[in-house]
Structure 1
Amino acid sequence: MWLAGAASLPAACLLVAPAGAQNPFGNGLGPNLPAPSITGPGLPGPSLSGEEAALAVSAVLGAGERRLASGLAWRVYEDRSDGGRPAIVARSNEAEPSFRLPAGAYVVTVTYGYASASKKVVMSGQPQSERLKVNAGALKLSGAIGDTRIAPGQLSFSVFVPIGTNSEGRLVRSGVKAGELLRLPEGTYHVVSTYGESNAIQRADLKVENGRVTDATLNHRAATVTLKLVASAGAEAFAGTAFSVLTPGGDTIREAIGAFPQVTLAEGDYVLIARHDGQVYTREFKVESGLDRDVEVLAKS
């Protein structure tokens, strides 16, 4: 699917998640989920003695019955009624682990990428099994110029959770690679795509649906130009030249040093300044989307 500007592009395929995903949120939760309560009036704290029993846990995707078989991180916390800091009493990265726990109250959490779920459990010396529902989907991002795909190594994405009128209210993750499967809680996200290292940036609001992959291509309007300082048109470029690319208003967009550095720029008008052997040369140039070309500055007094 193709995207120019802000749009939502859910794909019709089910989410298939790679193993070993990590969740950077300190509380083990995705950006749209509140922190779980770890206290509860009337519930006893975990006992360090007493009869142990097995707690078998598993996770399913959303309201369906499809079990999640990889990419899970389980944690079991004591559920303290005195307001103290809870301790982790068990952990596992297996799909369906079984924990042996003394009688008492606990909070079981599972994280799946940036999504998570939690549940209170009271153990009374008898085996129990619990199934947690994780509301998650995924984003898979790429970029293009017109009908031409941009090489994945030239793209970088940042994903945000909008807060109020601020589309970039909370950063979920930066440095997301093209083609990477980013597992997220269902909801709306703001995506910023950067092509190259200058000002070729595209934004979009994308919706992640439970159990689906939102496969979106952000369409950039940009081109890559090769900067050269030459004695005459088509001549060999001078080595060691310092270049500055500015907007017509004088704002610096990019600086580079070399005989022919390459710079990716958004479509528009620019001023190029070249410095070599104590001399300064300038010219104006225009970037047209999809038109990669050389931009030469003539070294003449």
Structure 2
Amino acid sequence: MGTGRLTRWCVGLAASAFALLPSLAPAQQPMLQPGTNTPMLTPSITSPSLPPSLPAAEPDAQLSLSAILSGAGTPLRDGLAWRIFDDRGEGTRPTIVARSTEAEPRFTLPPGAYVATVTYGFASSAKRIVLGGQASSDTLRIAAGALRLSGAVGDTKIPQDQVTFSVFVPVGTNSEGRLVRSAIRAGEVLRLPEGTYHVVSIYGESNAIQRADLKVENGKVTEATLNHRAATVTLKLVASPGAEAFAGTAFSVLTPGGDTIREAIGAFPQVTLAEGDYVLIARHDGQVFTREFKVESGLDRDIEVLAKSEPKPEAAPAN
């Protein structure tokens, strides 16, 4: 075979081999997602598809708070209780995330929405605060005043340990509709929202009671003295005026109508009573003795019951 003819034969054979290559290669089928006809996406070798990077989380921020009285604008320096609640929207119960009793607290919190509350005695205020990644400060206004109470008989102040007060919020026609607080001591400062309150003062432990309606104004301390018409009497059972009192005597103080006001046991118990008329019953060694007496306002004194034996009936003459 000549050289030219051999060359042409080799070139033709190579062309035929290249033409057969596509038919010889296995058909490339796309990979499907399991259970579907949806092709799975495969990343390109030359330009891989990577997940997007997440944004960096914002840092915690500092929240500074303070409280002032409405109207007067007086800063409050003590008696405060702060609470911070997370605000998750309606229908979700908020939870407390921070507390403080400082006058101007500082809280470090993650970004988000919060509700800040502050109480001052029985008054309070709340505010919604949204924190970003930077420091924030806010001031809450509290509409409040205060009551300071005392008692007296005439011009004489009643000792603090002998008088107590109860404060009520009137509801409708009921002056004692809702109890705010009881057992308040004289001189104690009671912080309250502005408004009108009904005050009941009890001198001693019996029926010496006075009432008054008092108004609390914003930013002011309302001072009031409730004047009692009463006195303290010392009860005694004696054999004769001025004699030694019998120990272990049981006393009952009644109104003229028979209602019991106070009961006490001892040689000389003290009872504080509103002015008026009373009946005193003394029981000792199975015997009962009585006396009527009168209480005059501001006149403290002893009330003595004489232990008089009933005269024995004379024996009938013998026949």
For the aligned pair, the TM-score class normalised by the smaller chain equals: 0.7 to 0.9
TM-score, normalised via structure 2 length: 0.77
Structure with bigger helix share is: 2
Q: Tell me the residue number matched to 1:214.
A: 222
Cα distance, 1:82 vs. partner?
Answer: 4.6
Letter in 2 for 1:147: D
Q: Tell me the residue number matched to 1:195.
A: 203
Q: Tell me the residue number matched to 2:154.
A: 146
Q: What is the alpha-carbon distance in structure 2 between the residues aligned to residue 151 and residue 65 of structure 1?
A: 35
Q: Tell me the residue number matched to 2:180.
A: 172
Q: How far does the alpha carbon of each residue in 1:150-181 deviate from its partner, in whole angstroms, 9 at most, with x for none?
A: 11111111111111111111111111110111
Contact conserved, 2:202 with 2:209, CA < 8 A, in 1?
yes
Q: Secondary structure at the match of 1:229?
A: strand
Q: What is the alpha-carbon distance in structure 1 between the residues aligned to residue 159 and residue 73 of structure 2?
A: 38
RMSD of equivalent CA atoms: 1.2
Letter in 2 for 1:257: I
Cα distance, 1:202 vs. partner?
Answer: 0.5
Q: What is the alpha-carbon distance in structure 2 between the residues aligned to residue 74 and residue 102 of structure 1?
A: 18
Cα distance, 1:236 vs. partner?
Answer: 1.5
Q: What is the alpha-carbon distance in structure 2 between the residues aligned to residue 279 and residue 232 of structure 1?
A: 16
Q: How far does the alpha carbon of each residue in 1:260-288 deviate from its partner, in whole angstroms, 9 at most, with x for none?
A: 11100001111100000000111111111
Q: Secondary structure at the match of 2:161?
A: helix
Q: Tell me the residue number matched to 1:269.
A: 277
> Which of these residues, 98, 104, 114, is aligned with residue 96 of structure 1?
104
> Which of these residues, 248, 257, 262, is aligned with residue 249 of structure 1?
257
Any stretches of 5+ residues in structure 2 without a counterpart? 1-56, 311-319
Give % identity.
75
Q: How far does the alpha carbon of each residue in 1:209-266 deviate from its partner, in whole angstroms, 9 at most, with x for none?
A: 1111111000000000110111122221111100000111111111001111110000
Q: Tell me the residue number matched to 2:23.
A: none
Q: Are positions 1:292 and 2:300 aligned together?
A: yes
Q: Are positions 1:156 and 2:158 aligned together?
A: no
Letter in 1 for 2:264: A
Q: What is the alpha-carbon distance in structure 1 between the residues aligned to residue 156 and residue 90 of structure 2?
A: 60
Q: Tell me the residue number matched to 1:280.
A: 288
Structure with bigger strand share is: 1
Q: How far does the alpha carbon of each residue in 1:37-79 deviate from its partner, in whole angstroms, 9 at most, with x for none?
A: xxxxxxxxxxxx7532111111011123321111111100012
Q: Aligned residues, how many?
A: 253
Following superposition of structure 1 onto structure 2, how do residues 7-86 of structure 1 map, counting pairs within 5 Å?
Answer: 50-86=58-94
Any stretches of 5+ residues in structure 1 without a counterpart? 1-48
Between stretches 227-236 and 213-222, larger displacement belongs to: 227-236
Q: Tell me the residue number matched to 1:108.
A: 116
Q: What is the alpha-carbon distance in structure 1 between the residues aligned to residue 72 and residue 255 of structure 2?
A: 53
Letter in 2 for 1:111: T
Letter in 2 for 1:126: Q
Q: What is the alpha-carbon distance in structure 2 between the residues aligned to residue 155 and residue 230 of structure 1?
A: 30
Cα distance, 1:124 vs. partner?
Answer: 2.4
> Which of these residues, 220, 226, 235, is aligned with residue 227 of structure 1?
235
